[in-house]
Structure 1
């Protein structure tokens, strides 16, 4: 397969290379990165079919109603017909949306003049459920003709379960605003991950590669013992790994500062009828510092921070709580390496790094590391 806009888009560094080549480049990068720790770096876990894996798609539009991706380091729209990382139905839905925008004379937002309505379209897909959530991001809280728009779109694509209008008036590059109106359906979709059901809204953090996420979570949780009294799931998002990991624990506490994510996490808890997990809306570092001051007891800790990694205060507090195991999942191996070195100073050691290719054809790698105390 060949991508004709690869050089302009810049999102996929290896899209026009053999997949095996990209995996080898990532293996080499991980070996070099973690060499100072003198730990075993396992071969990266790749995909059998590394195409069409994205279950989240964001596109912008130009004044000619052409949809596309942004050129690297710019906001110039590069039109495309089909992205190799998208499933065919997602791109077909977007193509229909572009047609309807033009048909109903919906204005496209001009970033320079700060005029117009439509800024982005965000699509979310349930890999197992096959449900779609369409989010129209607009600078205007009123979407004229929305009823006809929704009826036409859903009639063509019955897998669309909900259509949401997200209002973003901010003059920034942030895609989503805070206010939303449900135009059709319930405002969310559901999907299955590791045999549990999860609610996914436009704002939800949910891994974009379903199959690789399942592989990563399965491996990560297999590193923990089968019986845990108290498990902390920090930076928990909508509660995915904490809920899946609850099979091993008597008590799970999930911590997430995003209130909307916590709301979804509690919904997911109810949908899956898991009663021994609780979710707290708090900053992960603040929670850990307070827990350390109170001398709380925790047997194992899961941390899945953003690409920027964790904080020195979080790491110090985590070490003072002295959990037997710390499971660190990272989408930023460079910052994970930095954090592992600090954990080592506090007496935590690791022996293995497990890389996963959650973002085939890009330079990104997700990594899993289990740490334990030297004295354990």
Structure 2
């Protein structure tokens, strides 16, 4: 670390930085394109032209749908009813469309509050009003779940910003050799310098800004992917929204941290709310953020937060729901769907660190959590002890095989709660549910498309969908979660 006097971790008063490369927003003027034939050009074997189209609807990812020469285009940033000029490029059967200019804007179109919106790609719906975003997600769920009944009205967020309790920032140098930190531009490894992400916890962004200021006044250098030189790759920050505890993880290319004590002392002085700091070493040439080697620099190495009245310990690598405000709504609805009376045996499949199973334990007779990841199971057991839960047990293994073995032994479960990954469940797991024949299945999903597919299987094998509740877990993005209640049909 430099021996020269450090200027400290002062909060930046600069306006938000802009990327070296501008991606630009679409022109929203009402002037139409020139009349006549499409304007055509050619670039590296790709045929490119400009065409005027009208948007007829939205995809599940919030892209505008438009017809062009008998083909369906998917145009980012285009809204239903809008007329626009789009740039269409075609190579073989592959057609790509980008919004060039909005000729007639829709009333739902708004100016995105984030200055990086058109560059970043982390959010996809900021050009829509909040009402339009909710309607878009509701329409997605309504269409996907049409075979099973009418979903309930989506549960939205009162303040649809500042909700992420986890953020990660990448560091590098710009063309002038100045330290920058921000997010990668969509589908690239080009860093967009930014001071504030509107869906991050504000305190996390303040800490990142302090780290950038420190680097500018010291010898700490960002890691360069091309040369393999430098120290700091990323900073991961986790914030306990209820507890106020904050974890800062420096992801570095080396375990040799010169000036470590000075850095820790300075950052703690600027942000006394930080309760723990870690150094994570990632020497691999990979897009995975965290490496396997970890060292605690300050504090206990974990933070604790409260969700649905229960305390959970959070490590650098442990999974914890990103938006706790909406998670409480989601879990509350899921537990309501279980119809627990205090007598039931509940299986929490894909239980992770035990969050939803431990919440269910407050109303169930017995909870059995099953999870493949042994580290998550260890955390679930510790979380159970931490909250004094006596009626929950957690096992490492395949949940489907576990239930098949239960059925073979003649054991019963009244309720199965399943919260699979985005890929959904496989037929082996779903068939194990059918074999065990619980009275109710509560399916929590982060991907309604795979949920609809899995519901179809369960409906064909003796269950009926009784209720579907969409929840907006990630405002400003196209992602939407859904929880469905299925009941076993009487023979």
TM over 0.5: yes
Indicate conservation of the 8 Å contact 1:357/1:364, yes or no. yes
CA positional deviation for 1:375:
1.4
Aligned position for 2:75: none
Instruction: Give the Cα separation in 2 of the matches to 1:152 and 1:165.
Output: 16
Instruction: Give the Cα separation in 2 of the matches to 1:320 and 1:113.
Output: 56
Q: Secondary structure at the match of 2:213?
A: helix
Instruction: Give the Cα separation in 2 of the matches to 1:280 and 1:65.
Output: 46
Q: Secondary structure at the match of 1:83?
A: coil
Instruction: Give the Cα separation in 1 of the matches to 2:184 and 2:191.
Output: 5
Instruction: Give the Cα separation in 1 of the matches to 2:429 and 2:241.
Output: 34
Query: Could you list the per-position Cα deviations for residues 269-322 of structure 1 after superposition, in whole angstroms to 9, with x for gaps in the alignment?
Result: 111111111111223344344444444321111111111111110101111011
Q: Secondary structure at the match of 1:248?
A: coil
Instruction: Give the Cα separation in 2 of the matches to 1:289 and 1:106.
Output: 55
Task: Identify the structure with the greater helix proportion.
Answer: 1
Aligned position for 2:320: 206
Indicate conservation of the 8 Å contact 1:3/1:16, yes or no. no
Indicate conservation of the 8 Å contact 1:14/1:362, yes or no. yes
Matched, 1:156 2:270: yes
CA positional deviation for 1:233:
0.7
Instruction: Give the Cα separation in 1 of the matches to 2:239 and 2:152.
Output: 31
Query: Could you list the per-position Cα deviations for residues 220-242 of structure 1 after superposition, in whole angstroms to 9, with x for gaps in the alignment?
Result: 10111232431111111111111
Aligned position for 2:107: none
Question: What are the residue-to-residue correspondences of 1:244-283 with 2, within 5 Å?
Answer: 244-283=359-398
Aligned position for 2:432: 317
CA positional deviation for 1:143:
2.0
Aligned position for 1:39: 149
Indicate conservation of the 8 Å contact 2:404/2:436, yes or no. no
Query: Could you list the per-position Cα deviations for residues 81-133 of structure 1 after superposition, in whole angstroms to 9, with x for gaps in the alignment?
Result: 11111232111001111222333322322223333332211110011111111
CA positional deviation for 1:5:
1.1
Matched, 1:237 2:352: yes
1:26 to 118, 132, 137: 137
Instruction: Give the Cα separation in 1 of the matches to 2:187 and 2:437.
Output: 43
Aligned position for 1:223: 337
Instruction: Give the Cα separation in 2 of the matches to 1:102 and 1:254.
Output: 48
Q: Greater Rg, structure 1 or structure 2?
A: 2
TM-score, normalised via structure 1 length: 0.95
Indicate conservation of the 8 Å contact 1:328/1:368, yes or no. yes
Instruction: Give the Cα separation in 1 of the matches to 2:316 and 2:428.
Output: 31
Instruction: Give the Cα separation in 1 of the matches to 2:172 and 2:389.
Output: 46
2:171 to 41, 61, 82: 61
Indicate conservation of the 8 Å contact 2:400/2:433, yes or no. no
Aligned position for 1:92: 206
Deviates more, 1:50-59 or 1:175-184: 175-184
Aligned position for 2:453: 338
Matched, 1:327 2:442: yes
Greater relative contact order structure (CA < 8 Å, 6+ sep): 1
TM-score, normalised via structure 2 length: 0.74
Q: Secondary structure at the match of 2:344?
A: strand
Matched residue count: 375
Indicate conservation of the 8 Å contact 2:150/2:468, yes or no. yes
Gaps of 5+ in 2: 1-111
Deviates more, 1:43-52 or 1:12-21: 12-21
CA positional deviation for 1:38:
3.4
